[in-house]
Amino acid sequence: MKIDIVSIFPEVFEPVFKVGMSRLAQERALLEINAHDLRDFTTDKHRQVDDEPYGGGPGMVMKPEPFYQAMLSLLGASPFVVPKGVRTILLTPQGEPLTQSLVSGLAKAERLIILCGRYEGVDARVNTFVTDEISIGDYILSGGEIGAMVIVDAVGRLISGVLGAEASLDEESFSDGLLEYPQYTRPASWLGQRVPDVLVSGDHGAIKEWRRREARLRTRTRRPDL
């Protein structure tokens, strides 16, 4: 998969994607990540990417032209005609909430292009040439860069060959609509807290039943909305 990120701060991505899963995925040629400077797609001498909002109000709004030119350059064609296998994403608080189901859909694409907003927002006309508007949560960040990192990490780990134990994906939180069951490792007793007996019993049927029961209990208690 190829992922392009457009931001006014492309340098923030380099250290993040040099470690962990992202680094391994790139070394294995399973994932290609490129960060682009939005200002490179401006045409004025000041490389301006924002302007005052029509109708007044505080702050500045990001202009549509640089985003359009960036998409035009990356796609090699009009952004209004997105090639098959490509998902173009605008990160915005007004977007669809990012869920594991949405992540799974994005992971099936051949290429993602992620646009990162800043300031008071992005000119609404940018919405007309993206396939997805996505929000990573009901809160406000300074810009879309952290959201882009979240999407890359969540999507990248679903690409076949990236994780060493892909079967673990089947039992993670949200994979079946439930939060994951509690996990334990050695030592069996620590600060007076013991690992549940069933987990050391060797009875795989009982362990599976316990995990399912605990997952449902944890979900009811912590995330009843699920």
β-pairing, 193-194 vs 189-190, is antiparallel
- Looking at residue 5, its pLDDT comes to 98
Q: Using CB atoms within 10 Å of the CB of residue 45, give its burial: 0 to 12 exposed, 13 to 18 middle, 19+ buried.
A: exposed
Domain 166-222: CATH superfamily is tRNA(m1g37)methyltransferase, domain 2 (1.10.1270.20)
Give the span between the Cα atoms of 20 and 24, in whole angstroms.
6
Q: Within the chain, what is the greatest distance between any pair of CA atoms?
A: 71
pLDDT 10s digits, 59-94? 999 999 999 999 999 999 999 999 999 999 999 999
**DSSP H or E run through 132:** strand 132-135
- Looking at residue 192, its pLDDT comes to 95
- Looking at residue 95, its pLDDT comes to 96
In percent, the amount of the chain with pLDDT more than 90 equals 91
CA 43 remoteness from chain centre: 30
Tokens 């004025």 correspond to 44
- Looking at residue 169, its pLDDT comes to 58
CA angle (96 as vertex; 155, 126 as ends), nearest 5:
95
Domain ranges across the chain: 2-156, 166-222
- Looking at residue 166, its pLDDT comes to 58
Q: Using CB atoms within 10 Å of the CB of residue 46, give its burial: 0 to 12 exposed, 13 to 18 middle, 19+ buried.
A: exposed
Give the span between the Cα atoms of 126 and 181, in whole angstroms.
41
- Looking at residue 163, its pLDDT comes to 83
Q: Does domain 2-156 have CATH number 2.30.110.10?
A: no
With a cut of 70, say whether residue 165 has pLDDT above it: no
Fold match between 2-156 and 166-222? no
Other beta carbons within 10 angstroms of residue 219's beta carbon come to: 19
Other beta carbons within 10 angstroms of residue 90's beta carbon come to: 23
- Looking at residue 175, its pLDDT comes to 67
With a cut of 70, say whether residue 172 has pLDDT above it: no
Strand partners, 41: none
pLDDT 10s digits, 19-67? 999 999 999 999 999 999 999 999 999 999 999 999 999 999 999 999 9
pLDDT 10s digits, 176-221? 789 999 999 999 999 999 999 999 999 999 999 999 999 999 999 9
- Looking at residue 174, its pLDDT comes to 74
